[in-house]
């Protein structure tokens, strides 16, 4: 479903989250990004803030070498200055986004820190502009409406089973 998506096919620089157990699993998508010769970026969250960067992976296997966070997900360490940050280079074409709940208007309920909303605001200021955003969801996560705040950025598209 994701791999055949036209926006995915067109995109060269893609940011994707490393899944937690209760999220859509992204491992196969990450492998495909490398198989197709695209560039893959993953989040590095700064604790106690809403700041997030998207750092470049060199391969799908690269993930297992990264340290684990308190959420038990791999991410580049704070002092990792070798990896390219997406916005210091060519920006991003596509961001796959996680979330706890979504409505059909494109609103997303995250984990409450605003990492993605803040990052998208930075993307808008980049010369390449705002990337296309696709949320990956389970059918059970699609609601009539989710609470939204002023700085919440709507998602372009939500993909879920049988949608």
Annotated binding site: 18, 23, 108-116
Phi then psi for 3, rounded to 5 degrees? -65, -30
Query: Which residues have a Cβ under 8 Å from the Cβ of 62 and sit 6 or more positions away?
Result: none
Q: Per the annotation, where are the binding residues for ATP?
A: 108-116
CB atoms under 10 Å from CB of 70, counted, come to 6
Query: Rg of the chain over CA atoms, in angstroms?
Result: 15
Residue pair 143/110 in contact (Cβ under 8 Å)? The answer is no
Residue 142 exposed, middle or buried by CB count within 10 Å (0-12, 13-18, 19+): middle
Annotated binding site for substrate: 18, 23
Nearest alpha-carbon partner for 69 in 52, 44, 51, 49: 44
Residue 15: strand, helix, or coil = strand
Cβ-contact 75, 42 below 8 angstroms:
yes
């Amino acid at each position: 479903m994701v791999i055949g998506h036209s926006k995915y096919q067109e995109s060269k620089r893609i940011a994707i989250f490393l899944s937690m157990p209760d999220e859509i699993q992204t491992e196969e998508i990450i492998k495909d990004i490398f198989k197709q010769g695209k560039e893959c970026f993953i989040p590095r969250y700064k604790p106690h803030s809403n700041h997030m960067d998207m750092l470049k992976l060199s391969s799908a296997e690269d993930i297992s070498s990264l340290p684990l966070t308190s959420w038990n997900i791999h991410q580049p360490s704070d002092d990792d200055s070798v990896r390219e940050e997406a916005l210091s280079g060519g920006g991003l074409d596509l961001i796959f986004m996680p979330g706890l709940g979504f409505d059909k208007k494109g609103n997303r309920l995250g984990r409450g820190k605003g990492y993605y909303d803040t990052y998208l605001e930075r993307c808008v200021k980049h010369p390449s502009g705002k990337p296309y955003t696709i949320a990956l969801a389970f059918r059970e996560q699609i609601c009539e409406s989710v609470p939204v705040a002023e700085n919440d950025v709507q998602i372009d598209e939500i993909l879920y089973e049988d949608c």
